[in-house]
Amino acid sequence: MTGTRAPLPAQTSTAAADATTPSARRPSPLHRVLEAVGVTNVSLLIALALVILVIGSQNADFFRGSNLIVIGTAVAISGLLAVVQTVVIIAGGLDISVGSVAGLASVASAMIFTATGSTAVLGLAGAVLIGLLCGLVNGAIIVYGRVNPVIATLATLAAFKGIAQLISNGRAQGYTGSDPIFIFLARGSILGIPTLIWVLLLVAGLLHVMLKYTDIGRKIYALGGNDAAARLAGININRYILAIFALAGMVAGIAGVLITARTGSGQPISGSEGLELEAITAAALGGTALKGGKGSIISTLLAVLLLGVLINGMTLLGVNPFWQNVAKGTLLVVAVVIQQLRSGERRVGIPQ
């Protein structure tokens, strides 16, 4: 008790000192850089540098341009889910059905593509629309059924996966590998950067702008930080929750399209299973507070990159792929433990 309380007066007194004599203590340049970039981002960059150094010193292939592209394309799909998961978590929710939605959208895009006589645009639009609908279902269960988001999306994780298996009989669907649009998505590039990475950067950029610069974003932070306050301030929080889960579904739909493009056919499960774990891990590692109200797209992107480099490195170094799952799980726990320790929560009972 005294241990946690003691630092408080010290903090307030320095704050007061800052207030009265602003010019007395000028922060050092290093301090200012740290302030501007953020402690989380600096830690992530340091971790990234360390991991790159270790892997690079063991295997020089790591630094080859082709490998960097491999990392980029590998993280594009999980990165999409991670950035939208960040928005959901900031709003105080969690969506663990994103992987299943991506799988369903992947199957749907290929099936629509085939059914409409190889019209890629309809396949893409249909997949995104189905993702949106899945998200709306999640939102409606949560808001109107009063179901905790984890339970609601755990249920739909199973249900959406089941639907994807039902409509596909559990098999890969269609063949999109010869369609120019799908080929462009999977292997094309603009300015030497693969299309997949452009899609991720575009979505991440839009979400970043929304969170940082629009009133919608500010209200999302408010909603996640204190939903009672947000509601009493006049924000229609039900509508926001619905919209946020719909957004998550939509982005998962885009991820589903990318899965189809990369594999050349609609994959009910194999391309998407476990993506929710990667998405949540990246968001948590990026410092998004699982209680809501705090987080940033840029930090999540850095965490996505860190995860991608780690997994790529383990593959390069010949680590058994089963260990990679252990590593991902461990990383999620470590990320959350760090978060909780920093928040100074008392170690009593089941955490919120």
Residue numbers of the site for another protein (CB under 8 A)? Answer: 11-12, 15, 18-19, 22, 213-216, 218-219, 221-222, 225-226, 228-236, 238, 289, 293-294
CA dist 13 → 2, 27, 296, 343 (Å): 18, 17, 30, 20
244 and 131 Cβ atoms separated by less than 8 Å: no
Nearer to another protein, 165 or 238 (CB): 238
Minimal distance, residue 212 CB to another protein, in Å? 9
Minimal distance, residue 233 CB to another protein, in Å? 5
Q: 3-state class of 26 per DSSP?
A: coil
Nearer to another protein, 66 or 352 (CB): 352
Nearer to another protein, 192 or 215 (CB): 215
Q: 3-state class of 237 per DSSP?
A: helix
211 and 87 Cβ atoms separated by less than 8 Å: yes
* CB proximity list for 165: less than 8 A, separation 6 or greater: 268, 269
Nearer to another protein, 13 or 59 (CB): 13
CA dist 207 → 126, 202, 244, 247 (Å): 22, 9, 11, 10
Nearer to another protein, 293 or 308 (CB): 293
Minimal distance, residue 11 CB to another protein, in Å? 8
Nearer to another protein, 159 or 243 (CB): 243
Minimal distance, residue 350 CB to another protein, in Å? 17
160 and 100 Cβ atoms separated by less than 8 Å: yes
* CB proximity list for 191: less than 8 A, separation 6 or greater: none
Minimal distance, residue 87 CB to another protein, in Å? 15
Minimal distance, residue 191 CB to another protein, in Å? 28
Minimal distance, residue 215 CB to another protein, in Å? 4
Nearer to another protein, 148 or 214 (CB): 214
160 and 275 Cβ atoms separated by less than 8 Å: no
Q: Which amino acid is at 184?
A: F
Q: Which amino acid is at 142?
A: I
Tokens of 53: 């150094």
Tokens of 105: 């959208």
